[in-house]
A and B are shown apart, each in its own frame.
Chain A
Amino acid sequence: GQNIDQPTEMTATEGAIVQINCTYQTSGFNGLFWYQQHAGEAPTFLSYNVLDGLEEKGRFSSFLSRSKGYSYLLLKELQMKDSASYLCAVRDSNYQLIWGAGTKLIIKP
């Protein structure tokens, strides 16, 4: 079966750096997405990786290793507004998105 694993919850301190990991086992691979979702709201697109390596976008970076079935989202200079759930999703060989359950990130002052 297809599976996306991410930690259920993480806690970090304002101003610090946090890394959220995602491992996947899917039928084929056509890209990996990270989304941010605040409680009760819609997910918003953060990043997309299809080739190995690091993609940087401001305070957020995303890394992919296809051979290891592994990605991480790195958040720098954490702000209180970064408290949210972070969803990892992989597009499989049928171009369907397979979603992880999300990682709830709690930022403390």
Chain B
Amino acid sequence: DGGITQSPKYLFRKEGQNVTLSCEQNLNHDAMYWYRQDPGQGLRLIYYSQIVNDFQKGDIAEGYSVSREKKESFPLTVTSAQKNPTAFYLCASGDSLNTEAFFGQGTRLTVV
């Protein structure tokens, strides 16, 4: 089945450690996005990519890094520089910036 897969669903890490969240899609979408969702707030864009080997910072990119070496994959690394990393992270993809986004199941990251 076509879709977007995020893994793992739950992730626990110690403070000061980097952690990488996986996002894979087999929808042949060009655009991919990473969002962060916190209680009582709208989704906030971390990074997005329109094509392979290119990506742009979103509104809250500090403390995060991404890569887009393959069309299907857009992993997000939460670095130790991110001050408040505990959140629900959502990956999404779309045909282009002009179309609706389809979301993965999300990864709930807890840093202790």
A42-B90, A45-B100 as given contacts; A97 in contact with B45, CB under 8 Å: yes
Are B97 and A95 in contact, with the CB atoms below 8 A?
A: yes
| B102 within 8 A of partner (CB) | yes
Interface residues of A in 78-109 (CB under 8 A from B): 87, 89, 95-102
Question: Which of B13-21, B35-43, B70-78 lies at the binding interface?
Answer: B35-43
| B84 within 8 A of partner (CB) | no
Are B42 and A43 in contact, with the CB atoms below 8 A?
A: no
| B103 within 8 A of partner (CB) | yes
Chain B contact residues: helix, strand, loop or mixed:
loop
A30–B88 Cα distance when bound, in Å, is 27
Least distance between B10 CB and chain A CB atoms (Å): 10
A8–B58 Cα distance when bound, in Å, is 25
- Chain B, interface size category, equals 20 to 34
| A40 within 8 A of partner (CB) | yes
Least distance between A25 CB and chain B CB atoms (Å): 14
- Binary contact track A1-43/B, C-beta < 8 Å → 1, others 0: 0001000100000000000000000000010010000001111
A100-B42, A101-B41 as given contacts; A41 in contact with B106, CB under 8 Å: yes
Are B105 and A41 in contact, with the CB atoms below 8 A?
A: yes
Closest to B100 in A: A45
A98–B90 Cα distance when bound, in Å, is 15
Are A42 and B45 in contact, with the CB atoms below 8 A?
A: no
Least distance between B54 CB and chain A CB atoms (Å): 15
| 6 extra A-B contacts, CB within 8 A, seeds A45-B102, A98-B42 | A41-B106, A43-B90, A44-B103, A48-B100, A97-B43, A102-B42
Interface of B with A (CB < 8 Å)? 35, 40-45, 58, 88, 90, 97-98, 100-106, 108
5 contacts between A and B (CB under 8 A): A40-B88, A43-B90, A44-B103, A95-B98, A96-B58
Q: Which 10 A-B pairs have the closest CB atoms?
A: A99-B42, A42-B103, A95-B97, A99-B43, A45-B100, A101-B42, A43-B103, A42-B105, A100-B42, A101-B41
